[in-house]
Structure 1
Amino acid sequence: MKHIIFIICLLFVPTFAKAQDLETLIQEALTQSPEIQKFDFQYQIASEKVNEVNSLPNTEFNFGVMAIAPEMDMPMEKFNASVMQMLPWFGTISAREHYATSMADAQYVEVTIAKRKLALSVSQFYYLLYEIRAKQEVLDENITLLETYERLALNSLEVGKASAVDVLRLQIRQNELKQEIDVLIQQNKGIQAAMNSLINREYNKDVSVASVLEIPEDDSFYGYDALSLNPELLKYDKLYESVEQSELLNQKESGPMIGFGVQYINQEDSPMITSSFKDMVMPMVSVSIPIFNNKYKSQTKQNDLRKKEIQSQKDERLNVLKAELSKAISQRNQARIKFNTQANNLKQAEDAEEILIKNYETGTINFNDVLDIQELQLKFQMGQIETTKLYYVQTALINYLTN
């Protein structure tokens, strides 16, 4: 189980600074989540059923005593006792064990799916927190930049090269950015509480995330064939196997049952009995034959239909997973394209900012242009953060689908 948790952690943790934070959060969620514990208990119950079916039918004991004896010259029975044990047909118990084991294997896949889904959810919340906090940092930097521009505007106002309106517009813009920071703070509280809920700990506990995420140069993708290893599809293979084991069990249970036993009869003393043995011991053999076996024929037909149903469900789920994988790959590629475009635009906006600063040094500056460039820079910076988050969220989904 620890090995599986470690593998799941690796699936959703990219190689970046402070990656250990996400790995630790995933591992903590996998070990503390009530949902995972629920699935684990269900698996233990299914495993215990193997011991349940590995048993014989109840041994039957009978005891009878003569309550009122009629007056007869012949010897009368005082009491009798018997024991009978029915035995299923050869191989039936083994078939039951195999069927119970196959059901436990199918339940174990459910545990694996639940763990992977939980790890994916934790990863998605993690990248949302990264986006929120990265945006907060960018907004702080832009407020600092606007404060610098405000001081320039005040200096220009003193020498008559700027108006009070320019100063007020810069101050209004700062207020707007401060408002966005306050909104992000509230969003951070909500996402952090949701993540802590997944991990099953105090809702207000601080969650640390990486300060920097970079989009790698190459994307890892192993092709659509990797979907065949997804536990959501392996689950149907296990269910198909359990139906096959159910049919083998059905064939065994359609056979006869054989019982062995013995009956003891105790008789009263009588002058008619000349032998030294007055009691009787009678070995017994019993056979139970399912003459009317429509039940088993119907079960066979149901199993055949069930296998076709499972195969159809698997094909349907495979199509859904392929669609989800295609969408995730497309969105990840879109994120890379948008990030590169935003990086180029940001570079050009920074060049325009340098030109404005040089103009100020020569005594001319247009603060309307300053605000326009600042808004463009902020737009591109925010866009880079959003596309980086989108890239890693889609990468986590691709890893979930193909690993």
Structure 2
Amino acid sequence: MKTKNILSVLFILVFSCFSNAQELQSLINEALANNPKIQKFELQHAIASEKVNEVNTLPNTQFGIGYFASEPETRTGAQRFKISAKQMLPWFGSITARENYVNSLADAKYEDIVIAKRQLITDVSQSYYKLYTIQAKQDVLTKNIELLKTYETLALTSVEVGKASAVDVLRLQMRQNELEQLKQVLAQKYLAEQTALNKLLNRESTTVVEVVKELDIPLEKNEIDVKKLELHPELSKYDKLYQSVEQSELLNQKESSPMIGFGLDYIAVSERPNMNFSDNGKDIVMPMVSLSIPIFNKKYKSKTKQHQLMQEELLSQKQERLNKLETLLSKAINNRIASRISYNTQTKNLKQAKDAEEILIKNYETGTIDFNDVLDIQELQLKFQMNQIESIKDYFVQTTIINYLSN
């Protein structure tokens, strides 16, 4: 139930970034259900939980049987053989201490599942946004190729009336060839990224992945609560490990206590011949109680010292990880802001490039056009469009990192 609640929150935060998110949500659901890494951590948690049954046991019962090769004579007869049974019992609360220790290890393993699922959501989302970026760039290249074909038609007409040279036509054709090459390269990159995403979902590499046709950077959001970072499962895991060390120390204290043993010896006795008395041949039954005392307890003191050092180490590791996560969150926040700034700048530049294009078209209507300027404007437009797509991708990629860290 706890995992479902966490994932529901993450879904809402990831998908609130854009309207058509059903496809990504279904991909994430499929990944969470089929990803081998998640299954691995779930199995590890199941194994750790099952160990509770392993430790909830008593020490082995000891049985012994001995035969007297030379039967010792007693007043009641000769002893023939001996059977013994013995059971040691740990100190009061030792088994409970073992169970608590194993449960604390299982709790720490559970955090691995939560972390892995968060990371998987991030990986699937980022791969999805990369596919969107490649597809969007392909669409832009297609539109630019069509634009160049229009310019090529204008150039051919200008050549016929002597207002342009064949070189201008060839330049426009060479530029089209370059863009076609870029499209083919992007097609291969799309297939590679599609394979990566399919493998996160543990399905066939060639399965077609459909992505949204358009993404827009949303309006400004509320400030991110950085304090939530302290509740991140990567840090919670250190708390669980710290608790497991505490439970290990409690177990250590119990194991340093005495053990009580209960046993029974049975000795078979033969009757003495030619004698008649009440205990003749009477077998011997001897209940026993034993006490195992750890007189040489240096190892338990050493374990206590080790546990103290381990706790100090875990606190240091947690602080170190917190510092890294804070750095990552700060970078993601600032990079997302930078992506918005870049997007706005590219939008302005693109509008101005289109204005310049319109001026060139009007010049053509008046009989003058410089196809070098046409190519320059087309290259600028393509550059601004590509940068705009990259800014959108960066914005959403940084959003996935922020969601991973702060939710």
TM-score when normalising by structure 2: 0.95
Once residues 8 and 256 of structure 1 are traced to their aligned partners in structure 2, the CA distance between those partners, rounded to angstroms, is: 51
Work out whether 1:231 is the aligned partner of 2:233: yes
What residue in structure 2 maps to residue 399 of structure 1? 403
What residue in structure 1 maps to residue 90 of structure 2? 88
* Contact 1:131–1:385 (Cα < 8 Å) also in 2: yes
Once residues 128 and 221 of structure 1 are traced to their aligned partners in structure 2, the CA distance between those partners, rounded to angstroms, is: 26
Once residues 22 and 50 of structure 1 are traced to their aligned partners in structure 2, the CA distance between those partners, rounded to angstroms, is: 39
* Contact 1:120–1:397 (Cα < 8 Å) also in 2: yes
What residue in structure 2 maps to residue 42 of structure 1? 44
Unaligned runs of 5+ in 2: none
From 124, 131, 134, the counterpart of 1:132: 134
In the TM superposition, residue 200 of structure 1 has moved relative to its aligned partner by 1.3
What residue in structure 2 maps to residue 387 of structure 1? 391
After superposition, where does 1:75-114 map in structure 2 within 5 Å? 75-114=77-116
What residue in structure 2 maps to residue 285 of structure 1? 289
Work out whether 1:362 is the aligned partner of 2:366: yes
Comparing 368-377 with 307-316, greater Cα deviation is found at: 368-377
Show CA shifts across 1:127-182 (max 9, x none): 11111000000000010111111111111222222221111111111111101101
From 18, 39, 42, the counterpart of 1:16: 18
Work out whether 1:378 is the aligned partner of 2:382: yes
- Cα distance change on mapping 1:72 and 1:305 into 2, 3 Å: closer
In the TM superposition, residue 357 of structure 1 has moved relative to its aligned partner by 1.4
After superposition, where does 1:230-249 map in structure 2 within 5 Å? 230-249=232-251
What residue in structure 1 maps to residue 186 of structure 2? 184
The amino acid across from 2:357 in the alignment is E
What residue in structure 1 maps to residue 30 of structure 2? 28
Once residues 170 and 397 of structure 2 are traced to their aligned partners in structure 1, the CA distance between those partners, rounded to angstroms, is: 40
Once residues 11 and 337 of structure 1 are traced to their aligned partners in structure 2, the CA distance between those partners, rounded to angstroms, is: 22
What residue in structure 1 maps to residue 202 of structure 2? 200
* Contact 1:5–1:30 (Cα < 8 Å) also in 2: no
Work out whether 1:309 is the aligned partner of 2:313: yes
The amino acid across from 1:102 in the alignment is S
* Contact 1:99–1:242 (Cα < 8 Å) also in 2: yes
- Cα distance change on mapping 1:280 and 1:124 into 2, 3 Å: same
- Cα distance change on mapping 1:71 and 1:133 into 2, 3 Å: same
Once residues 101 and 7 of structure 1 are traced to their aligned partners in structure 2, the CA distance between those partners, rounded to angstroms, is: 27
Once residues 276 and 19 of structure 1 are traced to their aligned partners in structure 2, the CA distance between those partners, rounded to angstroms, is: 93
Once residues 176 and 234 of structure 1 are traced to their aligned partners in structure 2, the CA distance between those partners, rounded to angstroms, is: 52
Once residues 166 and 116 of structure 1 are traced to their aligned partners in structure 2, the CA distance between those partners, rounded to angstroms, is: 54
The amino acid across from 1:284 in the alignment is M
Once residues 11 and 284 of structure 2 are traced to their aligned partners in structure 1, the CA distance between those partners, rounded to angstroms, is: 72
Comparing 365-374 with 229-238, greater Cα deviation is found at: 365-374
Show CA shifts across 1:60-111 (max 9, x none): 1122233453688850122222221111111111111100000000011011
- Secondary structure of the 1:84 match is strand
What residue in structure 2 maps to residue 319 of structure 1? 323
Pairwise CA RMSD = 1.8
The amino acid across from 1:222 in the alignment is I
Once residues 342 and 281 of structure 1 are traced to their aligned partners in structure 2, the CA distance between those partners, rounded to angstroms, is: 97
What residue in structure 1 maps to residue 213 of structure 2? 211
TM-score when normalising by structure 1: 0.96
The amino acid across from 1:275 in the alignment is D
- Secondary structure of the 1:259 match is strand
- Secondary structure of the 1:262 match is strand
Once residues 151 and 222 of structure 1 are traced to their aligned partners in structure 2, the CA distance between those partners, rounded to angstroms, is: 53
What residue in structure 2 maps to residue 162 of structure 1? 164
In the TM superposition, residue 11 of structure 1 has moved relative to its aligned partner by 4.8
What residue in structure 1 maps to residue 302 of structure 2? 298
Once residues 302 and 263 of structure 2 are traced to their aligned partners in structure 1, the CA distance between those partners, rounded to angstroms, is: 33
Regions of 4+ moved over 6 Å = 70-73
In the TM superposition, residue 314 of structure 1 has moved relative to its aligned partner by 0.3
- Secondary structure of the 2:77 match is coil
From 329, 332, 335, the counterpart of 1:328: 332
The amino acid across from 1:28 in the alignment is E
Unaligned runs of 5+ in 1: none
In the TM superposition, residue 221 of structure 1 has moved relative to its aligned partner by 4.3
- Secondary structure of the 1:206 match is coil
In the TM superposition, residue 53 of structure 1 has moved relative to its aligned partner by 0.8
Once residues 110 and 346 of structure 1 are traced to their aligned partners in structure 2, the CA distance between those partners, rounded to angstroms, is: 46
Comparing 259-268 with 292-301, greater Cα deviation is found at: 259-268
Once residues 340 and 272 of structure 1 are traced to their aligned partners in structure 2, the CA distance between those partners, rounded to angstroms, is: 116
What residue in structure 1 maps to residue 345 of structure 2? 341
